[in-house]
Structure 1
Amino acid sequence: MAFSSRGIARQRYLALDLQSHSGKKESPMATYWAVILLGVLEGLTEFLPVSSTAHLLIAEHWLGQHSEAFNIIIQLGAVLAVVLVYRKEIPLLFTQSSSRRGLAYLGKIGVAFLATSVLGLLVKKMGWKLPTELWPIILALLAGSLAILLVEHRFQRNPVHEDGIGWTTALWVGIAQVFAGIFPGLSRSAATILTAVYFGVTRLEATEFSFLLGIPTMAAASLYSLDSETHFFHRAPAESWACLALGFFVSALVGFVSVKWLLSYVRSRSFVPFAWYRIALALVLLLVLRG
């Protein structure tokens, strides 16, 4: 996977003088509270169209930088949250051939995942590297806000015209994931959901497809990073096993609640409030940058 983890983006973007934090000896209690906060932020923002990268970036500016292994572990906690929400439906994807959620639906997830993987590898071979400044993440937040407003406007004028996720839509959703990897702050969930809605899919269908697609995408990216960063823990992570376990558990728990809430929210409400929230978050990042 070309975009192995947003943790890399967080580390490179932290050109915000995090060195001042690394020299501090924090008490175990302070460390655990930091782990809990970061786990909550990952679980809450991974699936909402608001950019988990931006939120964790702000948090790490004050709490100090954590290892890539920690970022991977809490992301895997978020993956587990989706698996738990869809624990009854996932097996049906492999066994049913004629239902709305059968083998064809699984094939569309595969098309989107394959598009992300192939294009992601091509982008990496072309020498693409993450930016080292904070400005791109702010611009991505604002661009995502504009995309939400434009797609919602289109949706209001042209309500649903596609019966579920089509093959072409699935392909474009996979391509959108690549853009989310190129521009951290755009948000994987925002990019995938908005793309499906743009092609006439209901908000609920688009959100569910994004969540289910996130399982193989995030799992593959996390495992790729885990191998490259720690060789599957042959190199010990900076954090204790207790901190890693706590971050994983908190991320999974909060992610489960976040997924369930968003699925309920999109049944009758638009994504417009998230656009205004993203604009406010971009302003906060500007203040962090100036500070």
Structure 2
Amino acid sequence: MLDWSAIILGIIEGITELLPISSTGHLLIAEHWLGARSDTFNIVIQAGAMLAVTIVYWRRLVTLAVSWRQPENRLYIGKLALAFLITAVLGFVAKAAGVELPTTLAPVAWALIIGGIWMMAAERFSERRSSKKEVTWTVAIAVGVAQIVAGIFPGTSRSGATIFAAMLTGTGDRGAATEFAFLVGIPTMYAASGYELYGQFKHGGGHEDWVALGTAFIVSTITAFVAIKWLLSYIQTHRFTAFAIYRIALGALLLVIAGRGWM
């Protein structure tokens, strides 16, 4: 028998993980009505979304791997590695220091609102600059830091934070900024998922409905694949303004819900 709640959560994760609207806020609402899931469940469906990114960019990844001796590819790989290492080091520091905000409605709502306002301001600023496709070392550093900011502040959106970090620090082209942000996310999210899963099993976790989990993983992967392909097409001719407005509206709604004690 199909677990429809797992399917719905997989769909929500697949759509919201890669679009700059934050998966955390959406999953909070969904799990309130459908029932809370384990950390293992949420980690695995997140990995499903990142698998979709890997599939979408497989040609680019193969080109980088096969032609790594070419100077431009070697530099690009170096910048991906730098962004990942910054995230990994700062992530371990934050974990050791216990720096983590609660995934409750109010902080997530404020992160959505502030992030939406920041996205509109950042895009206006970046449009005044030349539309460069080049990814500089400064961009790599900024993207690495942005991933940690998104990890510490639930509701920020990893994709939104990294894309706009790239755009603000030099990569004015939306497509180039999105590609770099997504490619950095592949090793980052796989490493984070693996680390969290190891911790879950080490401390006695892993008691899961594996059929439901597998179903949600597959649904998340398929949905994320469609969402990424749509986003890459959309940003060729559109700004991110619609996502920013949506974030602000959702954040305001969550504040109302939290204030009235509905969740």
TM bracket, shorter-chain basis: over 0.9
CA 1:86/1:132 → structure 2, altered by over 3 Å: closer, same or farther?
Answer: closer
Please give the per-residue CA displacement for 1:205-253, whole angstroms capped at 9, x wherever unaligned. Answer: 0101111111101101101110101249x74323x21101100100000
> Which residue is equivalent to 1:131?
102
- In the alignment, is the contact (CA less than 8 A) between 1:193 and 1:210 conserved in 2? yes
1:90 aligned onto 2:61: yes
CA 1:284/1:216 → structure 2, altered by over 3 Å: closer, same or farther?
Answer: same
* Structure 2 unmatched runs, 5+: none
1:283 aligned onto 2:252: yes
Deviation at 1:157, TM superposition (A): 2.0
Secondary structure of 1:69 counterpart: helix
- In the alignment, is the contact (CA less than 8 A) between 2:52 and 2:225 conserved in 1? yes
1:264 aligned onto 2:236: no
1:274 aligned onto 2:243: yes
Deviation at 1:147, TM superposition (A): 1.0
Give runs of aligned pairs for residues 145-184 of structure 1, distance below 5 A.
145-160=116-131, 162-184=132-154
In structure 2, give the amino acid aligned to 1:167: W
Q: Which runs of 4+ in 1 moved over 3 A?
A: none
Deviation at 1:35, TM superposition (A): 0.6
Secondary structure of 2:58 counterpart: coil
1:76 aligned onto 2:47: yes
CA 1:132/1:185 → structure 2, altered by over 3 Å: closer, same or farther?
Answer: closer
**Cα distance in structure 2, aligned partners of 1:38 and 1:207:** 25
Please give the per-residue CA displacement for 1:108-144, whole angstroms capped at 9, x wherever unaligned. Answer: 1110010111112222233323336422111111111
**Cα distance in structure 1, aligned partners of 2:119 and 2:148:** 18
**Cα distance in structure 1, aligned partners of 2:253 and 2:66:** 47
Secondary structure of 2:31 counterpart: helix
Counterpart of 2:88 (choices 117, 123, 126) is 117
User: For structure 1, which segment, 245-254 or 124-133, has the greater mean C-alpha deviation from structure 2 after superposition?
Assistant: 124-133
In structure 1, give the amino acid aligned to 2:126: F
* Structure 1 unmatched runs, 5+: 1-27
**Cα distance in structure 1, aligned partners of 2:232 and 2:217:** 22
In structure 2, give the amino acid aligned to 1:199: T
> Which residue is equivalent to 2:25?
54
Secondary structure of 2:59 counterpart: coil
> Which residue is equivalent to 2:222?
253
- In the alignment, is the contact (CA less than 8 A) between 1:49 and 1:189 conserved in 2? yes
TM-score (norm 1): 0.84
Number of aligned pairs?
258
1:107 aligned onto 2:78: yes
TM-score (norm 2): 0.93
**Cα distance in structure 2, aligned partners of 1:148 and 1:75:** 23
Deviation at 1:99, TM superposition (A): 6.6
